[in-house]
Structure 1
């Protein structure tokens, strides 16, 4: 063969080709990470983390999930069909409140169900005057407020900002295109609005309208509309571990049960949790699924050459 016709790469002279499971170059190798049969059978499209009993009960009742523990860990799961979209959902309740327990719940979902998206669903504190109890906030960005430096002159806070993936952000945007923003759910006394927002998150319970944390968050970003104690753990867990399972992103859905001030109480928690679960149900058809993930795992190469 004439040397000028030798090729050590890939040549395509027209038309699309699909390349998958391929390695090119000296010493290249393809490593396949196969899921166990048990994980494949359980694999969920949406993993849900709840914290309180009222939050878990609202999701279970709204999505009609059934309890099915795995390896001694309590989970609830089922399949819902909305607008022609069948989605498998797995839910767990964290052992306790706060960022650390949320990270463990995320890891349990990741290991047992490999969900495409993880949603943190439940209640939160309102942070803006136009956000009312019963309203629901959908957050794709979280500001962690507990990082700080203690000095002789006082506390210097250092916020940490994490945002979900673009594919989940676009899914939430599409939800609001269809429902309007703010979206309206229900009517009369049972009606509430749904907004997109940034969530402020940390381990401190905020029950003072004049607290230093509130002042800091308002200065950090005036679009922070709700606060909670878990979103930072979810965002950090995805940042560190999500890509290992090819997860697509996370979302936080918070029903407002109080105003994070001295009037903070538990009376409205059940209705706020129910509203959050209802919004989750409506949002699920917009979120990426594991079917989407399998379809996008193949690269498309057209009219290209490599050497």
Structure 2
């Protein structure tokens, strides 16, 4: 081996500076078996999925249950991103909406509840920076009377009432509800959908055995908290009805979505709009169960896709 200070054959040379070496093999016959890097930035994923590099993704969808994730993947015709992004799995695709395609990315939370929902929102923001967040899945119906949504109907919300803030006293529970509304642009977009399609808006069932049956989508605030409501005489139902008698559905995650938006409102340029789409799988009563999860999830995913031309 010859090394006269100007070139190096078969070794490592450092000429007057600081060098950093990573994922390297040194010496004759050395082999580097380091795994290929996985895409972990919006730019990397743009190259992998065909989205314009440097642009924000249009729509980010959050689901919680497996039935919800499958429904979104099927209805939006999404495909899993090869490998992981930041250690997580995402599904992506492009949807024709109006005069141009929209880029869509979906993720599933690790668990039910507000905290996991906020984490999913942050994961989407960090890796894809979507302009609009949609929470799509199932919920319980709490409306009363003939105009209340039934099993398989869908509720679309741009307002969330978080019901779990409360004070426990000797005289009883004092509820301290917290209400947040999506940005005005999103409210107008959802209003436009119902102006064009009717209020409630009719659509055909999307699950097997229900495709010939008509269902309806309703605009409504969403009640959200940590408790599973499975009693028609529940104090939570009574409180929500007194807070706003227009609340037609409850869930366990929309409060986390609205809180994420509130926390990120310090950066209005990047803060996404949001909307909640919940298919009614039960009436939040003693008959609550999983029987109608697939029906409710697929109807919700269908309505969410129908909203896209208005949200863009």
* Structure 1 length-normalised TM: 0.79
Other structure's SS at 1:86 match: strand
Q: Which of the pair has more CA radius of gyration?
A: 2
Over 3 Å counting, the alpha-carbon distance change for 1:107 and 1:46 in structure 2 is: same
Q: Deviations over 1:156-203 (max 9, x none)?
A: 110000000000000101111111111000177522000100000000
Rounded to whole Å, the distance in 1 between the matches of 2:275 and 2:151 is: 20
What pairs up with 1:58-73 in 2 under 5 angstroms?
58-68=71-81, 69-73=84-88
| Aligned twin of 1:123 | 138
The 8 Å contact of residues 153 and 215 in structure 2, kept in 1 or not, is answered as yes
| Aligned twin of 1:279 | 303
User: Aligned to 1:56, which of 54, 66, 69?
Assistant: 69
Higher-RCO chain (CA-CA 8 Å, sequence separation at least 6) = 1
| Aligned twin of 2:236 | 213
Give the gaps of 5 or more residues in structure 1.
1-34, 289-307
| Aligned twin of 2:227 | 204
Q: Deviations over 1:45-64 (max 9, x none)?
A: 01000000000000000011
User: Aligned to 1:241, which of 243, 261, 264?
Assistant: 264
1:266 to partner: Cα distance: 0.4
1:37 to partner: Cα distance: 3.7
The 8 Å contact of residues 156 and 278 in structure 2, kept in 1 or not, is answered as yes
The 8 Å contact of residues 87 and 285 in structure 1, kept in 2 or not, is answered as no
| Aligned twin of 1:44 | 57
Rounded to whole Å, the distance in 2 between the matches of 1:90 and 1:71 is: 14
1:243 to partner: Cα distance: 5.1
Give the number of equivalent residue pairs: 254
Over 3 Å counting, the alpha-carbon distance change for 1:36 and 1:192 in structure 2 is: closer
Give the gaps of 5 or more residues in structure 2.
1-40, 46-52, 206-210
Higher helix residue share:
1
Other structure's SS at 2:149 match: coil
1:211 to partner: Cα distance: 1.0
* Structure 2 length-normalised TM: 0.78
Q: Deviations over 1:63-113 (max 9, x none)?
A: 110111312211101101133331000100000000000000000001111
User: Aligned to 2:120, which of 82, 86, 105?
Assistant: 105
| Aligned twin of 1:77 | 92
